[in-house]
Amino acid sequence: MSHHEPTLWDKAKMGLIMGSSVGACLGCLIGFYSTMKFGPGPRGYLGTIGQYALGSGASFGFFMMIGSCIRTDDSVLSAEDRATLRAGMERWRAPTPMAYYFAQNGKSQSK
C-alpha cells in the first residue's frame, strides 16, 4: 500500500474550504452581534448576517488557501532547485552586525 501526498491544488482546496467554513461561522457570530446591537439595517436580519458571513468566509478562506500553499513541503523540489534557492538566500542574507563592523574597519574577527 503506497501513500501519496496531496498535490498543491489539493492543499489549496483544503485550505479554502476550511478557511471559508471557519470564516463563515465567525461572520455569522459577528453579524448576529451586530444586528442585535445596531439593528438589521435596510437588508433585514438574514441579509445582514449573510453579508457578514460571506465577506468573512471569503476573506478568511482566501488567506487560509494562500497560507496552506506557502506551507507546502519543499520535498517536491529537485536537489538542483533546492541548491538554487539556497544560493539565492545566501546571496541576499544580511551580514551580522559584527561582521559588518570588522569589514568596515579592516580588523580581523579572531580573538
57-61, 65-69, 87-91: range with highest mean pLDDT: 57-61
Split at pLDDT 50, 70, 90, the class of 83 is confident
Q: Taking the CB of residue 50, how many other CB atoms lie within 10 A of it?
A: 16
What is the model's pLDDT at position 10? 84
If one compares 30 and 80, the residue with the highest pLDDT of the two is: 30
Percent pLDDT > 70 in the chain is: 73
pLDDT tens-digit readout, 16-66 = 999 999 999 999 999 999 999 999 889 899 999 999 999 999 999 999 999
Where helices occur in the chain by DSSP H, the ranges are 8-38, 44-70, 79-92, 97-105
First to last CA, the chain: 58
Q: Taking the CB of residue 21, how many other CB atoms lie within 10 A of it?
A: 14
Split at pLDDT 50, 70, 90, the class of 90 is confident
